[in-house]
Amino acid sequence: MTTKVATLDDLIDDFVESYPPSSTDPVVFLGEQFDRGLAWVHFPVGNGGLGLSPADQVHALSRLATLHAPTAVMRNVIGYGMVAPTLVTHGTEEQKARFLRPLFTGEEIWCQLFSEPGSGSDVASLSTRAERDGDEWLLNGQKVWTTLAHIAAFGLIIARSNPDVPKHKGITAFLVDMHAPGVEVLPLYQVTGEAEFNECFFTDVRVPDSRRLGDVGEGWGVSITTLMNERVSIGGTVPPRSSGLIGEALKIWQQRWASRTDAHAIAVRSELMAAWVRNEVGRLTNWRASDLRRAGTPGPEGSVAKLAFAEENQRTSELCVNLLGSEGMLYGSTYPQIRPSESAMTGGDMRKAFLRMRANSIEGGTSEVMRNILGERVLGLAGEPRNDKDVAWKDVPRS
Ligand SMILES: Cc1cc2nc3c(=O)[nH]c(=O)nc-3n(C[C@H](O)[C@H](O)[C@H](O)COP(=O)(O)OP(=O)(O)OC[C@H]3O[C@@H](n4cnc5c(N)ncnc54)[C@H](O)[C@@H]3O)c2cc1C
């Protein structure tokens, strides 16, 4: 007698047959997807996964996308792309059991509290303090540019637990309740007119030791997992061919330019085709990288993809606005509509996308920093001088 082994496709078929994506409540659908191990198939069994490869995850995502299945990534972009892999890598069994499922269903939104007014690219120099007080920790300090903190239930925060050792060694990570006493969240408005991000103030915020993520003083390793996943999450996805911004550019060209045969239109078509080829090369490169990637912390290829994505997004959104002609300038009603945003993803109006994409070369690490990583880790070039590497954090001069 032979036993039939269910393939990933069989499992997806069975799932969508029992829970039709178009008629099932999104939270029920996503909860069931998690329980069947189809949330992140490359995560371990019991954590929303099946212990398969990152390439299988790309396959599962694209199959569900073609069925227009509900997804929490749009609303819980930080939780889904960054916090979840960090929890799986560094979390205790209790933490994984408590947090992963409601994160995936979008019932609990997450934010990432790394950047500070004086510590962005050099985030390891951060000043927010974490002091032990019995079974708890007291957090004091300020974070900034915190995406979706205004709707977040929890945040992944890194703080300085030991100022007497060099900067990378005295950091500890925590899972902080964003509604705890002492947490204050204030919106920061962007050029789009929306506030996706915030400044966050922490005044004597108590965090139980059971919400510490990783060992005391090991927060830098935790944050590397988050940052490398952030870069893959921003730049390393494999969307369907001709979708996203380049799909929008094609649509605008079809509507406004395709019937024209004058020299200007032909030149515009060449520009569009060059952009299509660049987007397709990026997509196929990410596909190949996802095939080679092993489960765990992604390598520097995520930084390369993030750099390429940022530059291409800015060029393609600029092309969209140019294709719109004078209408491209009419994103004018922004400031009267100024409001906190419910998501950190841009869709729809290409004039808004053009403005939003300016941030792509800053968020998740700037393009200059990505080039440093590419130079040092991929090309093996000499590293930057790092004078504070072996000096206790408290002895490093700062303003
Ligand atoms: C839309 C958006 C969303 C964000 N969301 C979050 C979030 O949710 N959580 C969070 O923690 N942070 C978030 N950030 C913050 C982001 O990570 C930082 O802005 C980024 O790391 C840069 O830090 P900075 O702004 O302090 O700039 P700085 O580090 O002060 O850099 C200023 C300039 O100097 C350059 N520079 C700095 N160091 C070097 C170097 N070594 N070599 C060459 N050039 C260098 C930079 O490239 C940049 O041009 C977000 C930012 C944006 C724009």
- For a ligand 1 pocket test, name from 366, 371, 384, 389 the mutation site with the most ligand atoms within 8 angstroms of its C-beta: 366
CA 53 / ligand 1 centre spacing (Å): 31
pLDDT digits (tens, 9 = 90+) for 185-230: 999 988 888 889 999 999 999 999 999 999 999 999 999 999 988 8
Counting atoms of ligand 1 from 1, which one is nearest the CA of 368? 47
* 344 Cβ closer than 6 Å to some ligand 1 atom: no
User: Beta strands of 119-221 (E only): which ranges?
Assistant: 129-133, 136-144, 154-160, 171-177, 183-188, 194-195, 197-208, 212-213
The H-or-E segment that residue 368 falls in is helix 367-373
pLDDT computed for residue 1 by the predictor:
45
Q: Provide, rounded to the nearest whole percent, the portion of the chain with pLDDT above 90.
A: 73
In this prediction, residue 4 carries a pLDDT of 56
From ligand 1's centre to the CA of 120, what distance in Å? 5
How high is the pLDDT of residue 2? 46
Q: Is 369 in the pocket of ligand 1 (CB under 6 A)?
A: yes
Question: Cβ distance 113 to 149 under 8 Å?
Answer: yes
Answer yes or no: is pLDDT of 11 > 80.
Answer: yes
User: How far is 107 from 75, CA to CA, in rounded Å?
Assistant: 10
**pTM of the shown model:** 0.93
Q: What is the pLDDT of residues 226-277, one digit of tens each?
A: 998 888 877 777 788 898 999 999 999 999 999 999 999 999 999 999 999 9
Give distance in angstroms: CA of 359 to centre of ligand 1: 10
pLDDT at position 290 over 80:
no
Catalytic residue annotation = 230
CA dist 378 and 372 (Å) reads 10
pLDDT of residue 300: 78
Cα 53 to Cα 42: distance, rounded to the nearest angstrom: 5
Q: Evaluate whether 114 touches 142 at the Cβ level (below 8 Å).
A: no
CB 112 within 8 A of CB 143: no
Ordered alpha helix ranges (H), 106-236: 219-235
